[in-house]
Amino acid sequence: MKVYINGKFYSKNNAKISVFDHGLLYGDGVFEGIRSYNRLVFKLKEHIDRLFESAHSLMIKIPLTKRQMTEAVIETLKANRLNDAYIRLVVTRGEGDLGLEPRKCLGRASVIIIADKIALYPEKLYRQGLKIITVPTIRNHPEALNPQVKSLNYLNNILAKIEANNAGYQEAIMLDSMGYIAECTGDNLFLVKNQQLYTPPQCMGTLRGITRHTVLDIARKLSILTHEHVLTRHELYIADESFLTGTAAEIVPVICVDGRRIGSGKPGKITRLLMQEFRKLTKTEGVRY
Ligand code: PXG
């Protein structure tokens, strides 16, 4: 494996950054998770744009242009000879001292690109569906740390995952600070009711997921009515279908929430249709390398 760090490639064992990097000391940085399918990078522009937006919000100056960052991603994929890959982009504020003071990070921001094989969920999960649970840890209030910022501080989400694991589940629903459904720990949530598609709006605790956006686009093309609407757990319990979306997981059917069966308890018809159309798109769309 070859890992890109600040313009150079290092073997996995030598891919290291300073212990004084504020990304490590304070979670002071941003990231993206991107996927490539058969040498096509899916939604690369959208991911690069979001990375720069997250960094802009945190006043981290990325030492590359968007074009250079795009080229660095492609170069990393080529260097690793991967046809299907999961790409992790990380930008930290860089090396500082032991204080919080960001102005003491005098060097430049660190840019790390890791390309690896994707660890897929087992195929069985996509056929049978996932059982999930609501957990106590909520997403941050937007005026604490805005959930649109994909920062290196994912502790709420890690705690939510731990809470789900402790209860015997793989994935957790996180609410926002108002008590509405926000999303899962690394995926957006959708429900289907009366042939129409619903997902929480992009305010409060919900990340503007790129897969979420793609699924809304696909649904509109299929003439399925879509709503970005605040959702309560009750509305999810009485839904006909539900599923999660994310770069890593793609589209995962949800068949049970907090012990309540969703619809028939099997992946729904609209969910399966969207999965099929999404897979088609990943085979044909993207930046070739
Ligand atoms: N919500 C959150 C909180 C996320 O971090 C998504 C939704 C889905 O967004 P995209 O743009 O990927 O459709 C994410 C995605 C993982 C993993 O292993 C996923 C994410 C971050 C870390 C790990 O699935 N981000």
Whether the Cβ atoms of residue 2 and residue 72 lie closer than 8 Å to each other: no
Whether the Cβ atoms of residue 116 and residue 9 lie closer than 8 Å to each other: no
Tell me what pLDDT residue 119 has: 77
Match 């997403």 to its residue by tokens: 139
Whether the Cβ atoms of residue 86 and residue 35 lie closer than 8 Å to each other: yes
Tell me the CA–centroid distance for residue 97 and ligand 1, in Å.
30
Nearest CA, atom 15, ligand 1? 186
Which of helix, strand or coil describes residue 141? coil
Tell me what pLDDT residue 204 has: 85
Which pTM was predicted? 0.97
Is 150 tagged catalytic? yes
Closest by Cα among 41, 150, 44 to 92: 150
Give residue-wise pLDDT tens across range 180-195. Answer: 999 999 999 999 999 9
Tell me the CA–centroid distance for residue 186 and ligand 1, in Å.
4
Tell me what pLDDT residue 25 has: 97
* Two tokens, residue 54: 């997250």
Number of H helices, E strands in the chain: 8, 16
- For residue 54, the surrounding DSSP H or E stretch is helix 44-57
The burial of 36, by beta-carbon neighbours within 10 Å (0-12 exposed, 13-18 middle, 19 or more buried), is given as: buried
- For residue 8, the surrounding DSSP H or E stretch is strand 8-11
Q: Which of 2, 43, 131, 150 is catalytic?
A: 150
Closest by Cα among 284, 278, 269 to 218: 278
Tell me what pLDDT residue 131 has: 98
Tell me what pLDDT residue 121 has: 84
Tell me the CA–centroid distance for residue 246 and ligand 1, in Å.
5
Pocket test for ligand 1, best of 49, 207, 213 (most atoms within 8 A of CB): 207
The burial of 1, by beta-carbon neighbours within 10 Å (0-12 exposed, 13-18 middle, 19 or more buried), is given as: middle
Please name the amino acid found at residue 147: P
Tell me what pLDDT residue 107 has: 81
- Using CA atoms, how far apart are residues 182 and 176, in angstroms rounded to an integer? 5
Which of helix, strand or coil describes residue 184? strand
CA 187 to ligand 1: nearest atom:
7
Residues in the chain where the model's pLDDT stays below 70? none
Pocket test for ligand 1, best of 46, 188, 190, 217 (most atoms within 8 A of CB): 188
Give residue-wise pLDDT tens across range 238-257. Answer: 999 999 999 999 999 999 99
Whether the Cβ atoms of residue 11 and residue 224 lie closer than 8 Å to each other: no
Q: Which residues line ligand 1 (CB under 6 A)?
A: 33, 157, 183, 186-188, 207, 209-212, 245-249
Tell me what pLDDT residue 203 has: 84
Question: Where do the domains of the chain lie, and which CATH numbers do they carry?
Answer: 2-116 (3.30.470.10), 123-282 (3.20.10.10)
